[in-house]
Amino acid sequence: MNLITLGVNHETAPVDIRETVSFTAERAQLAISELKRQALVAECIILSTCNRTEVYCILKEDKSQQDIQAWLHDFFELESNALTPYLYMHHDLEAVKHIMRVSSGLNSLVLGEPQIFGQIKDAYNAARKANSLNRTLENLFQHIFKTVKQVRTDTAIGSSPVSVAFSAVALSKQFFGDLSKQTALLLGAGETIELVARHLTEAKIGSLTIANRTFERAHNLAESVGGYAIQLDEIDNHLHEADIIIGSTGSPHAILKQEQVVRALKKRKNTPMFMVDIAIPRDIEASIGKLENVYLYTVDDLQEIIDSNKASRQTAALEAEEIIELQANNFIAQLKATQQVNPLIKMYRQQAMALKKDALDHALHQLEQNVNPEEIIKTLANQLTNKLIHAPTSSLHQAGIEGNKTLIECAKNILITPQKNKPHR
């Protein structure tokens, strides 16, 4: 099949490495175009989230995993082998299992979190838009979607409301205790920030401000959670009010700069500020964490909270692994069977088309000789039928002589179309 998965994630690479190879939606489209232009892949999907960047592809026959690895370095203008210590690679069956685990949330920072499945679907749809899917990846991802549904239905892997957003709010509660007197400033208005906002509301946050580049989106979210909306360029006017700052904008550059926080701390008379940056690339400059009275955490720092929630999902994860093992092997078995039979189908079709051509050429020649068209049609039908059934019937006759019941039964299943019962009038 020549399927490979190449990537980095929260287990293999720190946040600064992950953000180095993070794709925006636009860059992912560009990358797919480059992979196709350079004839490295036959099919390709790129997944990029705050915790991972992965390339799923069917390699061209004359290409290797080293070619894709070299391309990744070139695309991000990195020195040769700069990513090598952090990269992982899976092939064929193991690649299928890996993608299923990722899609089911078994390979996430928060075990069983559901958001990754939506991100996988977004990556799949983007690949379809880029015309980088053919039969193999299309069939694989349809199989993966069914597998994830089975995992969610048949196990309790997603029964607890645990996510990076939940963990960020839980850490805020550990820091402040009661949140009813605190003011939170959220950077962004996407799905993750929406979850943060709802968790903060449930925790009885005192005041909630949502800052986003698009005011309308911030306003809609703020209205749904009883908060206040501003645009990102208004942050300086409100930063000093914020006790809690949580960022997840998807911006390629840091939104919050050190000098802004220094000014805010002066206005707050150095009252502590608690920050959680769950964006990749980071929304909050790393140097801010060195300021006195600032407590800055990244997604990697949420690991302790997340680990405490993993225990309740371990049994469900084991059940999910069994489903994935079965479904991955089923897919590979189906793929191998298809790959074996496709050449035979092609040969059979070519043979039938050759017989049709001979019969048609003969009929056209007879028409040129002014033979009766009705007789030509009858002759064409008889000749074509006899030629098509000659080889199968000869083989069946020989199987009958030899008593080959297995071949006879297989031929019956292949050659005889079941008759549908006609309704009684």
| Separation of first and last alpha carbons in the chain | 52
Give 135-182 pLDDT, tens digit per residue: 999 999 999 999 999 999 998 887 655 678 888 998 999 899 999 999
| SS3 at position 186 | strand
pLDDT at 425 over 60: no
Are residue 247 and residue 385 in the same domain, yes or no? no
Q: Are residues 274 and 366 in the same domain?
A: no
- Could you tell me the CA-to-CA distances from 252 to 87, 116, 281, 363, 424 in Å, in that order? 22, 20, 6, 68, 69
Bond before 252 cis per omega within 30 degrees? no
Residue 161: the pLDDT is 55
* Pair (61, 149) in one structural domain: yes
Interval 100-114 mean pLDDT = 89
Instruction: Say yes or no: 324 and 353 in one domain.
Output: no
Residue 420 inside a domain? The answer is no
**Do 271 and 328 fall within a single domain?**
no
Element (H, E) at 101: helix 92-104
pLDDT, residue 417, reads 79
- Whether 423 has a pLDDT exceeding 70, the answer reads no
Is 243 within the bounds of a domain? yes
Catalytic residue among 44, 50, 57, 410: 50
Average pLDDT value for the chain: 90
Give which of 249, 254, 256 is closest to 217, Cα–Cα: 249
Q: Are residues 317 and 284 in the same domain?
A: no
Q: Which residue, 41, 38, 88, 95, is CA-closest to 64?
A: 41
The answer as to whether 361 is a domain residue is yes
Domain count, the chain: 3
Helices marked H in 242-370 — which ranges?
Answer: 258-267, 303-310, 314-368
The pLDDT, as a whole number, for residue 310 is 67
- Which residue is listed with tokens 């039979």? 341
Q: What is the CATH number of the domain that holds 71?
A: 3.30.460.30
Last residue in a domain, options 302, 336, 370: 336
- Whether residue 278 contacts residue 247, with contact meaning beta carbons closer than 8 Å, is answered with yes
Tell me the two tokens of residue 192. 């993750």
DSSP 8-state class, residue 320: H
Residue 263 has pLDDT above 90, yes or no: yes
Same domain, 142 and 106: yes
Is 300 within the bounds of a domain?
no
Domain end point (choices 292, 325, 356): 292
Q: Is the pLDDT of residue 354 over 70?
A: yes
CA distance 297 to 227: 23
Position 380 confidence tier, pLDDT thresholds 50, 70, 90:
confident
Residue 57 is among the residues annotated as catalytic for this protein: no
Range of the domain at 188: 164-292
Domain assignment of residue 301, yes or no: no
Q: Are residues 227 and 246 in the same domain?
A: yes
**pLDDT tens digits, residue range 16-47?**
999 999 999 999 999 999 999 999 999 999 99
For 230, the 3-state DSSP assignment is strand
Alpha-carbon distance 331 to 311, whole Å? 30
Candidates 317, 281, 274, 282; CA nearest to 110 is: 317
In a domain, residue 424? The reply is no
Query: 3-state DSSP call for residue 58?
Result: strand
Residue 342 covered by a domain = no
Kindly state the average pLDDT of the residues 302-316: 73
Co-location of 134 and 172 in the same domain: no
pLDDT at 6: 97
- In tens, the pLDDT along 203-253 reads 999 999 999 999 999 999 999 999 999 999 999 999 999 999 999 998 999
